[in-house]
Structure 1
């Protein structure tokens, strides 16, 4: 394998796609159907990126019966599907996301996804925005352990033939940063999604960026470092 390979592994929700309102509405509807008190966005945002059952367990009241957790997760899935069928439904790409993805692919980067979504959800979002063609590896919770376990990053590197020093994890939550750190790769946080800058840094981000221009500059620096180490 070439020694100058570069792999950018992307989170989806809150990093590429602005799904904040969609996720909050689905969680609010799920809690309502379960007869639970309303859930506030500032609680919902803290669990985005985790595998759904674990996320629901963190959000449910302490006395909520454990055997009801799968039902609450089902309510969430149903609410998400309902939203997709509603007139005017959108999960917009963040401004600059497509341009950055296209640029990296055009420059020979390998691109990967590591998401708390199931593969079906990934395919719906990427199909809507015609993004599959840019990516080389797709890691979802269907394949095993979710964030912050390093499994998805390790599998992405294995599939693309890259080593940790050639890979960078890009995401908007502390779970993304922990996952990347646990896999031994560089971690770049973005502040336009679900977690705050302090939370992202607390997860071990090497740096946090506030727009795609800054993220692009950081990726260029990382890429040059990989190329120089291979020279």
Structure 2
């Protein structure tokens, strides 16, 4: 089996198909402030470093780590994060990365199923899709709540396989901009685990976490899979 035998492509959103432009960090600052952590403080700097290192992970999981043992604060921070991010999307600060929509259309034109995944909640994911006019751009969209666990676990990729009736994990390609996307792909047994350099993590991090290929952007993926 080679790359052109891939029948299911699972794509990350923010940083991979959707421009981030610092929106996650802006929303995180609002979430931290909601819990009494001021921007510029040593505590904020420590937390921000963790957020950057774990880009791609389910956001509630990140906040549970940051506010270890305090579920109320974690939930409060997550709600504030979503509210702030949704506001930024509503302000028009959300756009597709160059070539992303065209790449998705080409992948589907090649006869492959395309699934968009995120570490955000369903509400935020739907808001982003609506802002971009992407409600029908993919065959399926998934968030952590749809699958059980978010990245770096394989749940969303395996849920995509089940819901699209794909026959084997060896028919899957996963693409994303973070090490957590790479871990998700490798743990799911995907044939292709492609890192893209349009988001959070560099080539070294993507390779270290299992990337089989590293691309300048998602625009290069259709050609890779054509072989």
What secondary structure sits across from 2:22 in the alignment?
helix
Task: In structure 1, list runs of 5 or more residues that go unmatched.
Answer: 222-231
Look up the match of 1:72. 77
**Aligned counterpart for 2:198 among listed residues 192, 203, 212:** 192
What secondary structure sits across from 1:132 in the alignment?
coil
What secondary structure sits across from 1:9 in the alignment?
strand
* Displacement of 1:114: 2.4
What secondary structure sits across from 1:77 in the alignment?
helix
**Aligned counterpart for 1:156 among listed residues 154, 160, 163:** 160
Structure 2 counterparts to residues 3-152 of structure 1, below 5 A: 6-38=7-39, 39=44, 42-60=49-67, 65=70, 67-86=72-91, 89-143=92-146, 144-152=148-156
Q: Is the contact made by 2:17 and 2:97 (CA closer than 8 Å) also made in structure 1?
A: yes
Separation (CA, whole Å) in 2 of partners of 1:164 and 1:66: 35
Separation (CA, whole Å) in 2 of partners of 1:7 and 1:107: 11
**Aligned counterpart for 1:182 among listed residues 187, 193, 199:** 187
Provide, for residues 99-139 of structure 1, a one-character-per-residue CA deviation record: whole Å limited to 9, x for no partner: 11111122221111222122222222122222232322222
* Displacement of 1:168: 0.2
Look up the match of 1:165. 170
Look up the match of 1:209. 215
The structure having more radius of gyration, on CA atoms, is: 1
Q: Is the contact made by 2:195 and 2:215 (CA closer than 8 Å) also made in structure 1?
A: yes
Alignment length, in residue pairs?
214
Q: TM-score, normalised by structure 1?
A: 0.83
What secondary structure sits across from 2:125 in the alignment?
helix
* Displacement of 1:151: 1.1
* Displacement of 1:213: 4.8
What secondary structure sits across from 1:205 in the alignment?
coil
Q: Which moved more, 1:211-220 or 1:12-21?
A: 211-220
* Displacement of 1:211: 2.9
What secondary structure sits across from 1:208 in the alignment?
strand
Separation (CA, whole Å) in 2 of partners of 1:65 and 1:111: 37
Separation (CA, whole Å) in 1 of partners of 2:105 and 2:28: 32
Task: In structure 2, list runs of 5 or more residues that go unmatched.
Answer: none
Q: TM-score, normalised by structure 2?
A: 0.84
What secondary structure sits across from 2:18 in the alignment?
coil
